[in-house]
Amino acid sequence: MEIDGLSINLATVRQQYNMKQAVDACLTHKISAIAPWRDQVHAIGLAEAARIVTDNGLRVTGLCRGGMFPAADAVGRATAIDDNKKAIDEAATLNADCLVLVVGGLPTGSKDIPHAREMVADGIAAILPHARASGVPIAIEPLHPMYAADRACVNTLEQALDICDLLGDGIGVAVDVYHVWWDPKLEQQIARAGASGRILAHHICDWLVPTTDMLLDRGMMGDGVIDLKRIRGMIETAGYHGPQEVEIFSAANWWKRPGEEVLSTCAQRFRTVC
- Mean pLDDT of all residues in 253-272: 98
Cα dihedral 262, 265, 271, 274 sign: negative
Check residue 213 and give its pLDDT.
97
Query: 8: part of which helix (H) or strand (E)?
Result: strand 6-9
Check residue 271 and give its pLDDT.
96
Packing angle between helix 19-28 and helix 46-55, nearest 10 degrees?
Answer: 10
CB of 175 closer than 8 Å to CB of 157: yes
Q: How many CB atoms lie within 10 A of CB 79?
A: 13
- Mean pLDDT of all residues in 180-192: 98
Query: 184: part of which helix (H) or strand (E)?
Result: none
Q: How confident is the model at residue 2 (pLDDT cuts 50, 70, 90)?
A: confident
Q: How far apart are CA 41 and CA 203, in angstroms?
A: 20
Check residue 51 and give its pLDDT.
98
pLDDT beyond 80 at 164: yes
Global model pTM greater than 0.95: yes
In the chain the domains, ranked by start, together with CATH numbers, are 6-273 (3.20.20.150)
% of the chain with per-residue pLDDT over 70: 100
| Alpha-carbon distances of 35 from 19, 89, 121, 125, 211, rounded to whole Å | 10, 16, 25, 24, 25
- Per-residue pLDDT tens digits for 94-123: 999 999 999 999 999 999 999 999 999 999
Half-sphere exposure of 102 (CA within 13 A, CB side): 17
Indicate the SS3 state at residue 208: coil
